[in-house]
Structure 1
Amino acid sequence: MLLKTFGWSFAITVLGLALAGGLWGWQGLAIVGILSILEISLSFDNAVINAGILRKMNAFWQKIFLTVGILVAVFGMRLVFPVVVVAITAKLGPIEAVNLALNDKAHYQELVTSAHPAIAAFGGIFLLMIFLDFLFEERDHKWLAWIEKPMARMGKLDMLSVIVALVVLLVTSMTVATAAAHGAGDKSATVLLSGVAGLITYLVVGGISGYFEDKLEDEEDEDGAGDDAEAREAAVASEKKGVSTGAAVGLAGKAAFFMFLYLEVIDASFSFDGVIGAFAITNDIFMMALGLGIGAMYIRSLTVFLVRKGTLDDYVYLEHGAHYAIGALAIILLITIKYEISEVITGLIGVVLIALSFLSSVAKNRREGKPGNEEGSRQEVASGV
Structure 2
Amino acid sequence: MILKTFGWSFAVTIIALVVAFLYGGPEALILCIILGILEVSLSFDNAVVNARILERMNAFWQKMFLSVGIIIAVFGMRILFPLLIVGVTAGLNPVEAVTLAMEKGDPHTPGSYGYLLHEAHPQIAAFGGMFLLMLFLDFILAHRDIKWIKFLEIPLARLGKLEGASLIAGMAALAIAGAVSGEKQGIVLLSGLLGMITYFLVNGLGNLFDVDADGDVDAADADRVVHSGPSGSAKLAGKAAFMLFLYLEVIDASFSFDGVIGAFAITSDPIIIALGLGFIGAMFVRSLTVFLVREGTLDEYEYLDHGAHWAIGALAVILLITIVTPINEIITGLIGVVFIGAAFTGSILRNKSKSVADPVEVLESADANN
TM-score over 0.5 for the pair: yes
Match of 1:181 in 2: none
Amino acid at match of 1:7: G
Q: Which amino acid aligns with 1:201?
A: T
Q: Cα 1:121–1:310, aligned 2, differ >3 Å: closer, same or farther?
A: same
Contact in 1 for aligned 2:130/2:192 (Cα 8 Å): yes
Report whether the alignment pairs 1:199 with 2:196. Answer: yes
| Aligned residue among 283, 287, 299 for 2:285 | 299
Counterparts of residues 17-32 of structure 1 (less than 5 Å): 17-32=17-32
Residue matched to 1:322: 308
1:305 Cα deviation from its structure 2 partner:
0.6
CA deviation profile, 1:47-75 (whole Å, cap 9, x unmatched): 00100111111111111111100110011
2:300 maps to a residue whose letter is D
CA deviation profile, 1:223-282 (whole Å, cap 9, x unmatched): 7xxx9xx96xx55xxxxxxxx435983111222112111111111111111011111111
CA distance in 1, matches of 2:261, 2:91: 20
Equivalences for residues 85-124 of structure 1 within 5 A: 85-103=85-103, 105-106=105-106, 107-124=112-129
RMSD over aligned Cα atoms: 2.0
Distance 1:55 1:76 in 2: 24
Question: What is the CA distance between 1:148 and its match in structure 2?
Answer: 1.3
Q: CA deviation at 1:44?
A: 1.0
Q: Summarize the alignment of residues 150-299 of structure 1 with structure 2, pairs less than 5 Å apart.
A: 150-175=155-180, 177-178=181-182, 186-214=183-211, 220=216, 234-235=227-228, 244-245=229-230, 249-293=234-278, 294-299=280-285
Aligned with residue 131 of structure 1, among 130, 133, 136? 136
1:338 aligns with one of 324, 329, 353: 324
Identify the residue that residue 59 of structure 1 maps to in structure 2.
Answer: 59
* Separation in 2, partners of 1:273, 1:45: 13
In the other structure, the counterpart of 2:16 is 16
CA distance in 2, matches of 1:139, 1:23: 51
In terms of mean alpha carbon deviation, does 192-201 or 246-255 score higher?
246-255
Specify the code of the residue in structure 1 equivalent to 2:316.
A
- Between the aligned partners of 2:342 and 2:315, the Cα distance in structure 1 is 17
TM-score normalised to structure 1 length = 0.87
Give distance in 2, aligned partners of 1:22 and 1:375: 52
The answer to whether the 8 A contact 1:59-1:247 is kept is no
Counterpart amino acid of 2:187?
A: T
Distance verdict in 2 for CA 1:377–1:126, change over 3 Å: farther
Which residue of structure 2 aligns with residue 382 of structure 1?
Answer: none
Deviations 1:3-54 (A, max 9, x none): 0010000000111101111111111111101100010011111000100111
Alpha-carbon deviations, 1:203-230, whole Å to 9, x = none? 000111012104x66883567xxx9xx9
What is aligned with 1:42?
Answer: 42
Deviations 1:331-373 (A, max 9, x none): 00000011111111111111111111111111110111148x9
Query: 3-state DSSP class of the match of 1:105?
Result: coil
Structure 1 runs not aligned, ≥5 long: 179-185, 236-243, 379-385
Provide the secondary structure at the position in 1 that maps to 2:236.
coil
State the Cα distance separating 1:119 from its structure 2 match.
0.1
CA separation in 1, counterparts of 2:353 and 2:104? 60
Q: Which residue of structure 1 aligns with residue 148 of structure 2? A: 143
Aligned residues: 353
State the alpha-carbon separation in 2 of the partners of residues 248 and 103 from structure 1.
52
Query: Against the structure 1 CA distance between its residues 35 and 219, is the aligned structure 2 distance closer, same or farther, given a 3 Å change threshold?
Result: closer
Look up the SS of the partner of 1:265 in the other structure.
Answer: helix
Q: What TM-score, normalized to structure 2? A: 0.91
Q: Which amino acid aligns with 1:307?
A: V
Q: Deviations for 1:94-119, whole angstroms, at most 9, x for unmatched residues?
A: 11111111135330101000000000
The separation in 2 between residues aligned to 1:78 and 1:168, in whole angstroms, is: 28
Tell me how far apart the structure 1 counterparts of residues 367 and 64 of structure 2 sit (CA, whole Å).
26
Contact kept in structure 2, 1:123 and 1:198, CA below 8 Å: yes
Identity over aligned pairs, percent: 55
Aligned-partner Cα distance in 2 for 1:155–1:55: 26
In structure 2, how many angstroms separate the alpha carbons of the residues matched to 1:249 and 1:164?
33
Structure 2: any 5+ residue segments left out of the alignment? 107-111, 356-361
CA contact (8 A) 1:58 1:248 kept: no
Measured after TM superposition, the shift of residue 157 of structure 1 is 2.0
| Aligned residue identity for 1:253 | G
